Amino acid sequence: MGLYDRYLAARIRRNDLPLPNCVAVVITERDLLEQDSHRTIEKFFEWTSEYGAERVLVYVSVLDGGVVPTIQRVFERCEAPRTVEVRDIDDKERADAPIQVSIGLGGKHEFAAAVRETATEVEAGTLSPHEIDADAIEERLIFPTDPDLVIKTGAERLSDFMIWQSVYSELHFTDVNWRDFRERDYLRAIRDYQNRQRRYGR
């Protein structure tokens, strides 16, 4: 850790402001096809653990479905301080691990699957239409956690990841590409988070 990184870390720890309990990061398939890309992933997991995040969500935006097995192998190579659960578009069960990875499983697909499951239960008579509310939909989402902080690397452009869960999340954009993402970039995201007043839609 360099001098500037130590300065940022000291400020974050000294100001006694809340740290994000759940952190999500949005990256692209191209980021993970770089050589030794798993090293940045490993470091990111370490930083989130060091600065208090109990749950980590990683969304990998995928344009070519053929690269999914390669990306899965990247995460298999990672050494992480906690259990890593990797999901792709074929997974339907709810994720529960401390570190959850979504490969190409966008929010629109996830939301549509939850609505489809709800409609099936109504048709089967196991769920009344009057019982359908926000909680009923959330119970059927694959990723049940609402991130406090969502980090998007590379550009100020969001994907459709967790479009339901992140409605009240704090968004942090950085023009730093994932392969160049350093601890100071993560600390800046935390500092940005701490400087905001969260209103949760109120």
In a domain, 50, yes or no: yes
CA–CA separation, 122 and 91 (whole Å): 22
What pLDDT score does 90 carry?
Answer: 83
Give Cα 161 to chain centroid, integer Å: 8
- Domains in the chain: how many in total? 1
In a domain, 85, yes or no: yes
In a domain, 117, yes or no: no
In a domain, 176, yes or no: yes
Tell me the pLDDT tens digit for each residue of 13-55. Answer: 888 889 999 999 999 898 888 888 889 999 999 999 999 999 9
In a domain, 10, yes or no: no
Lowest-confidence region among 4-8, 49-53, 94-98, 195-199: 195-199
Percent of the chain residues topping a pLDDT of 70? 95
Cα distances (Å, whole numbers) of residue 106 to 26, 101, 124? 11, 12, 27
CATH of residue 172 = 3.40.1180.10
In a domain, 81, yes or no: yes
What pLDDT score does 161 carry?
Answer: 85
Mean of pLDDT values over 91-111: 91
Q: Which domain holds residue 177?
A: 20-105+147-194
